[in-house]
Amino acid sequence: EVQLVESGGGLVQPGGSLRLSCAASGFTFSTYGMNWVRQAPGKGLEWVSYISRSSNSIIYADSVKGRFTISRDNAKNSLYLQMNSLRDEDTAVYFCAREPISVSGLDYWGQGSLVTVSS
Amino acid sequence: EIVLTQSPGTLSLSPGERATLSCRASQSVSSNYLVWYQQKPGQAPRLLIYGASSRATGIPDRFSGSGSGTDFTLTISRLEPEDFAVYYCQQYGNSPRLTFGGGTKVEIK
């Protein structure tokens, strides 16, 4: 069974840092591109970042560029999102999501990890 | 940046009725790059349709997608109780890589 489990969310002050993790199981992690997508409370979906299977392609949304860093460890079947210089508007549930073939949609999602940026 | 506008914002229907959801793009989108998701409260989104009209694995055939260019449609032929949810369209672009529409909520009338 494919599973994606996020962790690392919590309450952080503006300007602070947080690192999210996404543990993958039930599939060959190294053969899939991965994304982070977030959803502010009561709002729609916003794509955050993408990393290719071998990490040779990494792309960010303009809203997080220069502040967030996506990475993966295929040996540990894990995806990460290092979030620095956090702002109030970064408050959201962060989902990791698998992308089986480029531009074919995100076919499996984690349950999400809530990040709250507040003083 | 391509903007996706979904309409209506809310659709009030009864079980058994047909639902027609619209996703309009500000510029032409390749059909290969148009995707639909369903999201229920407190849950992650679920992939329904990719390539504008191909159903994802395990998706019932009452869900269908169509359209091209700037106008795309998700149709639910006969609403089941479990279909009441929020639906998002999504497209792949150059920058940003993925863009979502604002969503359509299908609620019980």
For residue B94, is pLDDT > 80? no
**Parallel, antiparallel, or unpaired for β A10-12 and A113-117?**
parallel
Question: Using the 8-state DSSP alphabet, how is residue B28 labeled?
Answer: E
Taking an 8 Å cut-off on Cβ atoms, the answer to whether B98 and A112 are in contact is no
Q: How far apart are CA B93 and CA B26, in angstroms?
A: 12
* pLDDT tens for each residue of A36-92: 999 999 999 999 999 999 999 999 999 999 999 999 999 999 999 999 999 999 999
Give the rounded percent of residues in chain A with a pLDDT score beyond 70: 100
Quote the mean pLDDT of chain A. 96
* Cβ atoms of residues A46 and B100 within 8 Å: yes
* Cβ atoms of residues A19 and A82 within 8 Å: yes
Q: Looking at residues B38-49, what average pLDDT do you find?
A: 97
R_g of chain A computed on alpha carbons: 13
* Residue A79 C-alpha from the chain's centroid: 7
Chain B residues closer than 8 Å to A57 by CB: none
Interface of A with B in 36-95 (CB under 8 A): 37, 44-47, 50, 59, 61-62, 95
Residue A9 confidence class, pLDDT cut points 50, 70, 90: very high
Residue B6 confidence class, pLDDT cut points 50, 70, 90: very high
pLDDT number for residue B76: 98
* Cβ atoms of residues B66 and B15 within 8 Å: no
Q: How far apart are CA A82 and CA A48, in angstroms?
A: 12
Q: How far apart are CA B35 and CA A107, in angstroms?
A: 11
Q: Classify residue A66 by burial, with Cβ atoms within 10 Å: 0-12, 13-18, 19+.
A: exposed
Indicate the residue of B33, B44, B103 with minimum beta-carbon distance to A44: B103
**Parallel, antiparallel, or unpaired for β B10-13 and B104-108?**
parallel
pLDDT number for residue B96: 80
pLDDT number for residue A75: 98
Indicate the residue of B47, B99, B102 with minimum beta-carbon distance to A106: B47
CA dihedral angle for residue B92, residue B93, residue B97, residue B99, rounded to 10 degrees: -60
Question: Using the 8-state DSSP alphabet, how is residue B82 labeled?
Answer: G
Q: How far apart are CA B67 and CA B25, in angstroms?
A: 11
pLDDT number for residue A103: 76
